[in-house]
Chains A and B, each alone.
Chain A
Amino acid sequence: MDFHDTPEEAAFRAELRSWLSEHWAGRPLEGGRGDFDTMRRWGGELYDAGYVGLTWPSEFGGRGLSPTYQAIYLEEMSRANAPGHPGVIGLNMAGPTIIAWGTDEQKQRYLKPLLTGEEIWCQGFSEPGSGSDLAAGRTSAVLDGDHWVVNGQKVWSSYAHVAEFCILVVRTDPEAPKHAGLSYLIVDMHAPGVTVRPLVQITGDPEFNEIFFDDVRVPRSSILGQPGDGWKVAMTTLLHERGTLGFALSSELERMVNQLIKLVKEPGPDGRRPADDPVVRDAVASEWIEMQSLRFTNYRSLTTLLETGIPGPEGSGVKLAWSEANQRLTALAQSVFGLHAQITGDEAPLNGFWQYWQLRSRGNTIEAGTSEILRNIIAERVLGLPKGR
């Protein structure tokens, strides 16, 4: 057991820190997610500096480093309060799935522009009638010569309005049992018949979208795996979503805890310092402890990953715990403003930062696996309890 960085890790950390202090320091916080083109350029800057695709094999434009470096990257980014690369669906889901299942041509075509941020990806998994129950999806693809013809609707798709490509789960065999009839396509979001409609969330931001597919023709070769492999391929995607997510979340929580600490040390609208209220102090300490516990749970899971190639099961609770912590923390921050917390527009406290993130946090227990599903997964796969379904 040794919690120190190795000399190589320490050098990487120092180099990144100094790069960030030159390239990021001083840019302002924003209430929402920021302007997308700015974010895309920032993604390109990160790529040029060598901080994107750290764990990807070098033949695909990565640096072939161990996941420890990705963890350090995420920690340092959050400590510098710098946003990440905007191509998260591509980097964390589409990319690893293409590396695992793609043909050489697909790897050549898609991976590099995904790393640079030139091409943004979105995900077409959930449907209006099937959210948690992914395998019940009804969006169909029927072979017509050299093309799949896709019809249906997907929902909750982040970045679809700016994306070049979509990883899409479709039903290609309506006769086969539910899981066996699925296939996994790569769809050009600019193809005729693709319509994206933004869904406005409770934050007022259209972060998610609905995607409609009307007789969209997709080249027959734009498939990952074979027809009928869709479920297996999708599981690779979700494994990566949940597997690499942990550090991103604990680092994000660290950023939020740091913001919270800053907030409560300043006088509130009533002139009093929230940090002088013992109830607030107790709650801030709780969230700091929670954040550390998630951070070190990630490290524990990472140790298992480095030893065995598979992340440890302890990481399975991180997203669950993070989402609830983020909800408590942002609500605590909003409570500091009293009724001032309601005021929007130019007069919104701190540029609406906490307003936005408190409302946004309610999605945290729903997206990327609802907390109910995650509890089922822990109960069934980690604890070995009998399946309820």
Chain B
Amino acid sequence: MHTEPLDGRIRRDVRVEGVVQGVGFRPFVYGLATRLGLAGRVGNDAGGVFVEIEGASADVHAFLAALERDAPPLAEIERVTVRAGEPGGAGGFTIVDSDGSGPRRALVSPDGATCGDCLAELADPADRRFGYPFINCTNCGPRFTIVRDVPYDRPNTTMAAFPMCPACAAEYGDPADRRFHAQPISCWDCGPRLRLVDAHGAELPGDPVREAAALLRGSGVLAIKGLGGYHLAVRADDEAAASTLRARKHREDKPFAVMVPDVETAAALCEVDETAAASLTGRARPIVLLPRRDAPSVAPSVAPGNRRLGLMLPYTPVHLLLLAELAVPIVLTSGNVSDEPIAYDDADALGRLSGIADAFLVHDRPIHIRTDDSVVRPFLGGESVLRRSRGHVPDPVRLGPPARRPILACGAELKNTFCLVKGRHAFVSHHIGDLENYETMRSFVTGIDHFTKLFDVRPELVAHDLHPEYLSTKHALAMTGVELTGVQHHHAHIASCLADNGEAGPVLGVAFDGLGYGADGTIWGGEFLLADLVSFERLGHLAPVPMPGGTAAIRQPWRMAAAYLDAAYGGRPPQGLDVVRRNQATWADVLTIGRAGLNSPATSSAGRLFDAVSAVLGLRDTITYEGQAAVDLEQRADPAERGAYRAAISGGRPLLVAGADLVRAAAEDVLAGVEPGVVAARFHNGTADVIVRTCEILRDSSGVSAVALSGGVFQNLLLLGRTVGGLNASGFRVLTHVRVPPNDGGISVGQAAVAAARDRLPATGDG
């Protein structure tokens, strides 16, 4: 026990853990300590921030009280530990250099949009960074995308190649400055340089921003190097340019995102309420999916036939300068061809995009980690994340009870993310993509490596999907010296929803998605599970139908119409259905393939049910991107229509939901000449209705009255809204996704939560 000296002078050694590096924490501590007249020092190490503080007892206590209370806005304090020490009689307060030794616990923060102070300087002709395309400070700028290693210090970032000029060095070293220890600090004299180059990499004359704007005005395609990768841009109101971009990218229908100069412009294009405005202007600056107005300033090819538009605001000084110069919205889509991952390496980008872009707006600060834009949308008065990437990563998702051992969860095959767990922190990766693509698979492998280094996690437990052909599964199974745990796909979906809501279950989990490998080796995707974080029981599902031709049935939704109509009518569909006529040439063969089970796995997928109805309605027989048929069906549905088709529920354990009933009802309405918008709505309403009724039966048998909704199909806002409404009206407590995507991007989080929960179980066996 310490006895305090008579003069009341005491010393405390303080350790602060969490997101405390690169967020202005040390200057904050410096300011606080010097204001209180305290002596000591503060520094970063691999564990976070350490403070040694001494002075009058009352002042030290005031310091400790303010430390958490007044911390900088971007800091996320996980834990503060205080130890008493012997005062050494030190005078003054100093900031010490980083110490790269010791265990790594410091959290790297996500990239952040240019802050208000930097914006003001950017626009101020008197400021020395007036118009400087790489302005940033401790409150904003690149972070995750430039960090090579921890601790987060300039030599460990891609800024290492830019020695600071005296003026920047002075700001960097001045505890009173907003840029004190801002690692990416730079200026016109010492920092990265913006250049406009042609498709061969040769620099073009003139001011790069002005010339780039001129190129866009003249209907050109511009590649722009952003924070996490290259984008391709054209003027959003330029139909010729937008369709040229589509043709060159081989992207047929999938909507483009649009960057607008400001919220006012956003509000002219879309309905922007307070929630939407908050998402648009937030530090993460995601793409926000919003209900579209009838605005002529967006060309038809930007988001063909879509009722929603993805908008974002400029998030780097380069974007800000360009949009200010141009003053009109631009299409800003990932810099790639078709399904390739977004280009981020300079040489690679020039090579891959030279056939697409007429010029490149580039700079010489390397991107270390490819990071796509995040995608969110407003839902139920809040923000719900569909793709969690730039601006969010690597902020951890916080698990309830801590994991016993470090965990790696390998995620799904499509929209892959992986997840590393250490204690209560689930570090979900940036959006990796579709693993079948070699580049993507490589970033999966190197990404895992980077994260294990960054967060000092050596996984001992590895969670994976059950699908034997997922490359993420194969990656897990090939690992040695680790314990493996397989997590069924839809169990992972439900667990991800539980983790997102900080709950452990049990819950009735409704997992509706495209497909996932079932515990019985068939393809699931319309599932009612009684689940907690450890295990699940399949209490109900859509009655299976064949997928005629497997993957071909996914690319050609009309095949699912054939399979469902076959199930609904026992081989004698009514005369006159247009979907049959349109596909007459191969209709019979496809039916035969399905009936004979030739490469036609049985599936209970809800996504395939939506596909079938979309084709029956004549909306889409073939798709060019995932989920397109279902998206069209949702867009077409008349929100005012309240009628609902009725699907039978039969069987016991598990319950069987007759999706074919819904298809039959839709087909009959189509034949009766009912308007497609009404049919689409009645189908949505009917699906929501049968979900609610199934949950009611399961509530009676299980006693569980909380429902978790997960899976990619619940990205459908009409279905989600109707289902949540129906469940609430029936007295259920409903969990939906907020920060973790409901689609396969959330699978890794679910796998991690399940693995952690299983690992907490007392060891089985004797004893």
Indicate, yes or no, whether A interacts with B: no
B binding-site residues for A, Cβ under 8 Å: none
